[in-house]
Structure 1
Amino acid sequence: MVLVEQLISYAHYHRDPRNIATHLLGIPMIVLAVSVLLAQPVRHLGDLYLTPAWVLITVVCAAYYFPMGWRVGLTMATLLSLSNLVGHELAQRESGVWIWGVGLFVLGWTLQFLGHKWEGRKPAFVDDLRGLLQGPLFVVCELAFKLGLLKDLQSEIELACGPVRRDPHASPATPAH
């Protein structure tokens, strides 16, 4: 699927502003937690090192993000690489940092489920596992929208899914599927 279709698919589950806010916090926590937790074992290849986290982002970016376009692939590869660099550094410290990785993971998912309770809908990945990959992309796009960027993309999503509800207590819109 192309970028717009992927984001529309995900946005159908995310029209409540409180849910979006929990995702803006929770998804980066989860991504960083995965980077920390998959930073071991380390395989040294000369001056380079290879970890399960690096293998994961290479496969995800090559198979999922780059086919949506080189800008998407490059943006996501850069952001995920930064997360992996931080995760690797944290994982090299004492074992207490691993507890932080687990804590971030649990807190991030708690925020996700709290947001979906407010949304009144189950998380997107329950219906389609691609939702786990769409989440980080959704966060990047939502931040771009808040900065006034990607207005055409935002308009396409809102045309298909409706705008983000201004009143978070209003009933969820019926999905257009």
Structure 2
Amino acid sequence: MKTLVEHLSQYAEYHRDRRNIATHFVGIPLIVLAVAELLSRPGLEVAGLWLSPAALVAAAAAIFYLRLDLRYGLLMSVLLLLSLWFGAALAVQSTALWLSVGVALFVVGWIIQFVGHYYEGRKPAFVDDLMGLLVGPLFVAAELGFLLGLRKDIERAVEERAGPTCIRSKNALA
């Protein structure tokens, strides 16, 4: 299994333009919420917990994140639990509301992602490696931590491998 730095660095190679990273702060959470919501049906309540395909996917993702790094794993687990709560709340609503909200979040999230990749001048990471779909939310959490001055050792290691973030000019894309 790759290390945290290896996963973040590989993903970061596709995300060095600050505008692209900024779009990911909006697009990825929307997509995660959409997936949690859309996979919350079918489901059933057991001992106050909503059990659904979303819960299974979130549990597998949480295990992956925890194996990579305890601190990020705990943060991602909390974020996944919040997403599951959101999904469960909408799963019990009418089918029209559940489906329209889920599809809208998913489509808008991906549109925002592709706008960011237009700025980047590069395809999304998941096109070359499907693990990018799982690493993306972790990347956003890590980038937020870096902006807050946290985990500087990880940030330095990622930038050593992927290069610094910048704003690319149109000439750089040619």
Structure-2 change in CA distance of 1:168 and 1:99 (3 Å): farther
Structure-2 change in CA distance of 1:72 and 1:170 (3 Å): farther
Match in the other structure for 2:90: 90
Report whether the alignment pairs 1:133 with 2:134.
Answer: yes
Q: Identify which range, 86-95 or 7-16, moves more after superposition.
A: 86-95
Distance in 2 (alpha carbons) for counterparts of 1:147 and 1:170: 31
Shift of residue 122, structure 1, vs aligned partner: 0.9
Shift of residue 161, structure 1, vs aligned partner: 1.4
Percent identity (aligned) = 49
Is the partner of 1:34 in helix, strand or coil?
Answer: helix
Is the partner of 1:171 in helix, strand or coil?
Answer: helix
Shift of residue 101, structure 1, vs aligned partner: 1.0
- How well do the aligned residues superpose, as a CA RMSD in angstroms? 1.6
Match in the other structure for 1:47: 48
Deviations 1:60-107 (A, max 9, x none): 222x21211222222111111111101211222233242011001001
TM-score by length of 2: 0.91
Match in the other structure for 1:72: 72
Match in the other structure for 1:57: 58
Q: Is the 1:18–1:168 contact (alpha carbons within 8 Å) kept by the matching residues of 2?
A: no
Distance in 2 (alpha carbons) for counterparts of 1:134 and 1:44: 30
Structure 2 regions of 5+ residues with no counterpart? none
Q: Is the 1:31–1:83 contact (alpha carbons within 8 Å) kept by the matching residues of 2?
A: yes
Distance in 1 (alpha carbons) for counterparts of 2:170 and 2:156: 23
TM-score by length of 1: 0.90
Aligned length in residues: 171
Q: Which amino acid aligns with 1:137?
A: L
Match in the other structure for 1:103: 104
Is the partner of 1:54 in helix, strand or coil?
Answer: helix
Structure 1 regions of 5+ residues with no counterpart? 173-177
Q: Which amino acid aligns with 1:90?
A: L
Q: Which amino acid aligns with 2:66?
A: F
Shift of residue 58, structure 1, vs aligned partner: 0.7
Is the partner of 2:45 in helix, strand or coil?
Answer: strand
Shift of residue 34, structure 1, vs aligned partner: 0.6
Q: Which amino acid aligns with 2:41?
A: Q
Structure 1 stretches (4+) deviating beyond 3 angstroms? 166-170
